[in-house]
Structure formats: C-alpha cells, structure tokens
Amino acid sequence: MSEEKPYALALTGASGMPYALRLLEVMLKGGHRVDLMLSAPGQIVIGMETALKLPGRCAGIRRYLAEHYAVDEALLRVFGREEWTAPLASGSSAPKAMVVCPCTTGTLASIAAGTSGNLIERAADVAIKEGRKLVLVPREMPFSAIHLENMLKLARLGVVIMPPSPGFYQGVTCIDDLVNFVVSRVLDQIGIDNDLSPRWGEESPGDAG
C-alpha cells in the first residue's frame, strides 16, 4: 500500500503565526505528514510573534520543530522558497490538501494570478489545477476591493477563503481558546478530525456541571 500523501502548509509574512504553529503542532502530533514552506518575511514574523528561534536553513528548521513538538522528524519536510525540485512543485506529487496560514494579501494576489513566482505560489497553483483542497487564511483588515476581488476569483475556483475570525460562543477564557477555534475550523476543511474547540450546541468546558 502506498504511503498517505502529506499535507502542505505554507507560512507567509502576515500576522497570525500562533494560528499557523498551533495548526502545525496538531497535524504533526496527530501523526500526519506535513510539507512545510516558510517565506523569509514569515520567518521574521515568527520571531516577532512567538518565542521560537528558527535556524536559517531548512534542515535545521526541520530538526528544531520536530524536537520542539516532540514528534518523529520523519513526519516533517521543510522546503525553501526557490526549491523547485520539491515534490510540491509538480502535479504528480500534489499534496492531500494545502493551507496557507497566515496568508498575505500579496501571496493571495499571486495565487489568484497564477504567477508561481516561488514554491509557495507554485504549490498553491498545483493544488488548484489538481483539484486538491486549498485553504487560505488571509490576515488583513480592512480588505480593499482588490483583496475582495482576488478572493472572489479564487472562491469561484473552489479555494476556501478563511479569514481568522474566531467565535466567542464556546466560552473563551484565554487567547488559546481563540487560536484553537480558528485552527479547528481549518482542520475541518482539510478533513482532519479534532476536538480543539466546542461545537455549536455543545457544552463549553466551563458549563459542565
């Protein structure tokens, strides 16, 4: 039996790295293989928004994250933005699904235009052309008409546009509750079962008698 295809996760330079890193953690700890791509601005934002100090090279990032999350290093592959020989660059090795989180409006625009100027954009192009689920998590406010037009164009192609807009009905007591709400919905979209956040109509942990 062939090995299950990996999921692709791309981190670009928008704010919102706690969403991305929690998503990566849950996927890896669930035993799912992940092909990770980080833009240079994305690595800068990780340093600004989290306590992680990522190495500069892909091999070092892979070891660092596997150790940080206490998972088998074999579950994770990390690719550079110009690594055109990566499996993600070809439809013959398309991932099971792809998430760009957080997604800059610049990356969103490039995906909508099909420019494939780097591996993240090319991998997204592959996901679209191969009919794989592609989820974009744009973190920007307010959206301009340009942003909205690009989102509409992609939505009409079947791309899922998921701005990180957490609900509060689940009994929010800390920032992690908001992060888990968004991550849970992203996982739902790519078909990964999870119980990170109470569902509508379910009791929140604080309501249990």
To the question of whether residue 173 is assigned a binding role by annotation, the answer is: no
Q: What is the pLDDT of residue 209?
A: 40
If pLDDT is split at 50, 70 and 90, which confidence band does 197 have? confident
**2 in a domain, yes or no?**
no
SS3 164: coil
Q: Which domain holds residue 82?
A: 7-207
- In whole angstroms, how far apart are CA 54 and each of 24, 44, 48, 62? 14, 9, 12, 9
Tokens representing 130?
A: 């191969």
How much is the average pLDDT of 32-51? 96
Q: Per-residue pLDDT for 204 more than 60?
A: no
Alpha-carbon gap, residue 154 to 59, rounded angstroms = 33
pLDDT in tens, 136-154: 999 999 999 999 999 999 9
Number of domains in the chain: 1
To the question of whether residue 7 is assigned a binding role by annotation, the answer is: no
SS3 37: strand
**Global pTM?**
0.92
Q: Per-residue pLDDT for 126 more than 50?
A: yes
To the question of whether residue 105 is assigned a binding role by annotation, the answer is: yes
Q: Among residues 156, 183, 78, 88, which one has the least CA distance to residue 127?
A: 88
Q: What is the pLDDT of residue 2?
A: 44
Residue 28 carries which side chain, given as an amino acid letter?
L
- Where residue 50 sits, what CATH number does that domain have? 3.40.50.1950
To the question of whether residue 31 is assigned a binding role by annotation, the answer is: no
**1 in a domain, yes or no?**
no
Q: What is the pLDDT of residue 171?
A: 83
Alpha-carbon gap, residue 47 to 4, rounded angstroms = 32
Q: What is the pLDDT of residue 3?
A: 66
To the question of whether residue 201 is assigned a binding role by annotation, the answer is: no
**12 in a domain, yes or no?**
yes
Alpha-carbon gap, residue 6 to 172, rounded angstroms = 32
How much is the average pLDDT of 103-120? 97
